[in-house]
Amino acid sequence: DKTKDLSTQGAVISVKVMDANKGGLITRVESVPAFIPVSQLSPNNYPRVAGGEKSKIHEKLKALVGTSLDIKIIDVNEGEEKIVVSEKAVWETKQESVLAKYKIGDAVEGAVTAVTDFGAFIRFEENLEGLVHISEIAWQRIDHPRDVLKVGDRVRAEIINIEGSKIFLSMKKLIDDPWKSVAAKYKVGQSVKGRVLKINPFGLFVELDPDIHGLAHISELASKPVKDVNEVARIGDEFDFRIINIDPENHRLGLSLRKPKEEKA
């Protein structure tokens, strides 16, 4: 049986995509019908669709009809004379040889290919792609990766983990942590000008400088209890705050608008 021979050899076969349905692509291997599930497409052909809309996924898959793909057989169902094939398996084998050049701690440079709620994807050298999680983009807290990055931006990052063919990157590791030298800039008790960046029910996020942001808790906004933070400030407002605590390790700095004599004994 030809297909069985091919699958045991793990051969890379070039096939033509004949049709597409919502679940994947239809092709033939040596005249035997074959199926490529969406999950078995390489990242280059995987339909990235916001919200996973089925009709849009189907459109992207239909665009591959007529193209040739390199695949490996991953499952042979002799009873039904059907085989399942994978483009991703071929891609992963190629990835392994490219990935072998890289190790944790290496710095890479590439272009942002996608920005999501949880981070950004960066493509570098020979189609390798890595994820920078939102917490690894910058030292300061950011609400959404799109506030800092857009598709096409060239960035540098450090490889912090490799799991199989998944690469995890950090941009902030290549920048000095500004909180290490926070004590040279700011002292507890000091009066500082700050701009309100964000308002939360529990307080204000305040920018002291581009690297160091602090929090003025709702209990520190006035001598009388504040019910609604929005009554005290709007985004962009500037105030003279007093620094009441600095915690470099946890990247925290506490601010107050209360006057020192108002502190409870």
Per-residue pLDDT tens digits for 87-142 = 999 988 887 778 888 899 999 999 999 999 999 999 987 678 899 999 999 988 78
Which residue is associated with the tokens 């307080």? Answer: 203
- Amino acid letter, residue 206: V
Q: Note the pLDDT of residue 265.
A: 42
Of 254, 135, 126, 100, nearest in space to 188 by CA: 254
Answer yes or no: are the C-beta atoms of 69 and 17 closer than 8 Å: yes
What is d(CA 204, CA 197) in angstroms, rounded to the nearest whole number? Answer: 8
What is d(CA 115, CA 127) in angstroms, rounded to the nearest whole number? Answer: 17
Start-end of H helices in the chain: 2-9, 54-62, 88-99, 182-185
Q: Report, as ranges of residue numbers, the positions in the chain whose pLDDT lies below 70.
A: 1-9, 50-52, 79-80, 126, 261-265
Of 62, 69, 75, 52, nearest in space to 16 by CA: 69
Percent of the chain scoring above 70 in pLDDT: 92
- For 238, other C-beta atoms within 10 Å of its C-beta total 12
What is d(CA 247, CA 30) in angstroms, rounded to the nearest whole number? Answer: 66
Which residue is associated with the tokens 């050298």? Answer: 125
Q: Note the pLDDT of residue 50.
A: 66
What is d(CA 50, CA 68) in angstroms, rounded to the nearest whole number? Answer: 26
Assigned token pair, 214: 């602090």
List Cβ neighbours of 3 (8 Å cut-off, separation of 6 or more).
29, 30, 32, 73, 76, 83
What is d(CA 237, CA 172) in angstroms, rounded to the nearest whole number? Answer: 28
Answer yes or no: are the C-beta atoms of 75 and 83 closer than 8 Å: yes
Start-end of H helices in 65-107: 88-99
Give this prediction's pTM.
0.61
